[in-house]
Amino acid sequence: MQRQSGFTLIELVTVIVILGILAAFAIPRFTGLEVQARTAAVNGLAGSVKSAAALGKALWVANGNATATSVEFEGNQVVNVSDVSGYPTANNAGIGAAVTDTAGYTISSSGNVMTWQLSSADVPANCKVTYDNTNQPPEVAVNIDDC
């Protein structure tokens, strides 16, 4: 007589039920991580924008030319700055050239304001960083409401 080996139907159903219970507790935790990841990405970009603005001003002051309209970052990256304040201008040739790693963001500028918005279909429109060069020093605002 030959002996059969394997799992019984009851054993298989028990394992599936246990996996289902574990998944019910794990899935809500993973969805919470998406919001935290988007918030961290926006806050990280805001830190980069603030650092780039401060570095542009520092290079402008260090060069000693109060009428200069551009500074050269490391690696021959030329950044346009205001000839009055020395902070990068709010466009692609200014702060946009200073902040180089913006993958995953949609960038727009209008007048003295430049905005980086996370560009994904499931990200709310108010998940963004704004650089406003109207006043000095420039204001870097972070909007992470419902991010």
What pLDDT digit, counting tens, does each position of 60-69 carry?
A: 999 888 888 9
Long-range Cβ contacts of 12-19 (<8 Å, 24+ apart): none
Question: Element (H or E) spanning 118, and its range?
Answer: strand 113-118
Positive or negative: CA dihedral 119, 121, 124, 125: positive
Say what the pTM is. Answer: 0.78
Q: What is the pLDDT of residues 80-127, one digit of tens each?
A: 998 888 999 999 999 999 998 888 899 999 999 999 998 877 777 788
- Provide, rounded to the nearest whole percent, the portion of the chain with pLDDT above 70: 99
Q: Any residues with CB less than 8 A from the CB of 42 and at least 6 apart, and which?
A: 118, 127, 128, 129, 142, 143, 144, 147
